[in-house]
Amino acid sequence: MLKNDLLIRALKGEIVSRPPVWMMRQAGRYLPDFMKLKNKYDFFTRCQTPELATEITLMPIKQLGPDAAILFSDILVVLQAMNVNVEMKDGIGPWISKPITNKRDLSNIIVPNIQEKLGYVLEAIKMTQKELNNSVPLIGFAGSPWTLLCYAVQGQGTKTFDKAKAFCFECPDLAHEFLQKITDTTILYLKEKVAAGVNVIQLFDSWGGLLSPEDYDEFSWHYLQQIISELKKFIPVIVFGKGCWFALNKMSKSGASALGIDWTCSAQNSRYLSGGNITLQGNFDPSRLLSPISEIKKQVTNMINEFGKDRYIVNLGHGILPNIPVSHAKAFIDTVKQYEDNR
């Protein structure tokens, strides 16, 4: 039994005294202890070593006290398991030396044995849950098939993912074959995460907002819906599509328990577009954590008042930035924990 089940109750739409709070990328580079490990071990070593992943996952829990932990990992480990050679290069980010560009490349892509290829993630979940000792829920996650295709085809992060879009529009059959393989792998992966002990799943569609609504339906949502339909039987699912305000109505009918909102969509608009009956998560601009603490407290309180304390999870509108002072991140969390609806 969870000692702090606020997140689970919010996902069920129950009345709560205050909304739960956590931050995307809360186990990240803004924490000095994280940087010490970053200087000692490369990125994927940290992901692939359960003891390190556990230690990093617990850092914000001990230092900031959010209402949930999210496992330290990366969406790209799924591609690695599928035979895509993914590296993380300093100053560049994800780097794929041999992008997927044709049928021959695609023939080398496998739907892997999850225990064999991603067992280190499952071990990290078990280890983390043991350390958490039912204090807060543990969130497991995966990237959307579209977002993973973007990296696998483009070869690195960009603002436009023009090569990935060209691949989909010029070779739609190959694109759909690849997307289905990623979807099948992701479903198997997340089911194993549930079996290993996570309490909630979040799906990140980081690059969904680059597509038109019609193309989003075809190349992203079609596959996300498959994942939600399979996972919702076992566990609450949060879907976060950055820039995907146009899909909120469709998402609200998907069987997901909550929808992530970025900072470009207001509380009023997101409630309206999602139909008003589903839990929403977000949407503080991560850069706003650079404001003075007094301003952070004021804006967070206003945000909660705008969304309403129920059917709401306080979070950022995307991941926390590396240059945010820890005291500012803590002020964000503490403001939510001290929230009282005095209106």
pLDDT per residue as tens digits for the range 190-230: 999 999 999 999 999 999 999 999 999 999 999 999 999 99
H-only helix segments in 274-320: 293-307
Residue 343: what pLDDT?
A: 59
**Cα 104 to Cα 109, 165, 174, 179, 298, distances in angstroms:** 9, 19, 10, 16, 55
Three-state DSSP at 260 gives: strand
* DSSP state letter for 161: -
Establish how many alpha carbons lie within 13 A of residue 81's alpha carbon, considering only the half-sphere containing its beta carbon. Answer: 25
- Work out the average pLDDT over 298-319: 98
Dist. CA 257–CA 200, nearest whole Å: 10
Do you know the residue count of the chain? 343
pLDDT at 270 > cutoff 80 = yes
Q: Which of 13, 5, 19 is nearest to 308 (CA)?
A: 19
- Work out the average pLDDT over 130-134: 98
- Work out the average pLDDT over 116-142: 98
Domains of the chain: 6-337 (3.20.20.210)
Average pLDDT over the chain, rounded to an integer = 97
262 token code pair: 């970025």
Per the DSSP assignment, residues forming a β-bridge with 201 are: 140, 237
Is residue 327 packed enough to be buried (19+ CB in 10 Å), middle (13-18) or exposed (0-12)?
Answer: exposed
167 token code pair: 């691949």
pLDDT cut 90: percent of the chain above it: 98
Contacts with 112 (C-beta within 8 Å, 6 or more apart), sequence order = 81, 82, 83, 118, 185
Model confidence band, residue 341 (pLDDT cutoffs 50, 70, 90):
confident
In which element (H, E) is residue 315 found? Answer: strand 312-316
Establish how many alpha carbons lie within 13 A of residue 327's alpha carbon, considering only the half-sphere containing its beta carbon. Answer: 4
pLDDT at 119 > cutoff 90 = yes
pLDDT at 144 > cutoff 70 = yes
Residue 187: what pLDDT?
A: 98
Model confidence band, residue 259 (pLDDT cutoffs 50, 70, 90):
very high
pLDDT at 118 > cutoff 70 = yes
196 token code pair: 């290993």
pLDDT at 342 > cutoff 70 = no
Three-state DSSP at 11 gives: helix
CB 199 within 8 A of CB 235: yes
Dist. CA 231–CA 72, nearest whole Å: 21
- Work out the average pLDDT over 155-159: 96
CB 306 within 8 A of CB 266: yes
CB 182 within 8 A of CB 148: yes
Model confidence band, residue 90 (pLDDT cutoffs 50, 70, 90):
confident
7-28 tens-digit pLDDT: 999 999 999 999 999 999 999 9
